[in-house]
Structure 1
Amino acid sequence: MEETFQAEKGLAGLDEHQVRRYPSWGRWVTLAMLAPAFLAVVRADEKAHHPGPGGLIPLTCNEIQRLFITLVVQLVQDADHRLSWSLWRRRHQARSRAGHYRWQAAQA
């Protein structure tokens, strides 16, 4: 439970607010708690409707956060580069996972 809370705190930015007044703290906490819920819903929807092409891991909450910030919040000029980088990273992670599982099976 504690590890999950720490991960969500870092992912949603719950630990980045300075409390000065209760209303601002309440708004910040509400947004910070909605962020992981948003990421989880997007991840579940993506996994259900768009099973990834072969050789890719499913989108993670961290990857969705990176893509959301890159494509929606910061509006970078090279969106194609960012998307291809995401595909490369997911493909690399899938290969690493497969190699790790093969290594573990060989050790057993």
Structure 2
Amino acid sequence: MKRILIVEDQADIRDLIRMSLEHGDFEIHEAEDGDQGLQMAQRLAPDLVLLDVMMPGQLNGLAVCKRLKADPSRKRTKVVMLSAKNQAADKQAGLSAGADAYLVKPFSPRQLLQSVAKVI
């Protein structure tokens, strides 16, 4: 069973993601902001982090991704960035931060599952 951490500040989007994944063989955890997400990722060692780019708090998604990828014990953790930002520079910023994929909101459950399947 793969462990997935959803880091998203909007409860309705977290719900959509969780509902899209709950039929798969996944152990799902949720965090409401980057600070909580980073702490949970360090504690839970997820296989995949679904990470919103724009979040309140001190750490946005790009900062969380950079810290995860810089941690030797979390280097294998896959990260899919989730963002409403659709410009090429935004996608490049996510990939440069270490993301394994970049999914633009709004996305369908099918698109989410395809992205998850590609990275884990």
Larger Rg: 1
More helix by share: 1
Structure-1-length-normalised TM-score: 0.25
Larger RCO of the pair (alpha carbons < 8 Å, separation 6+): 2
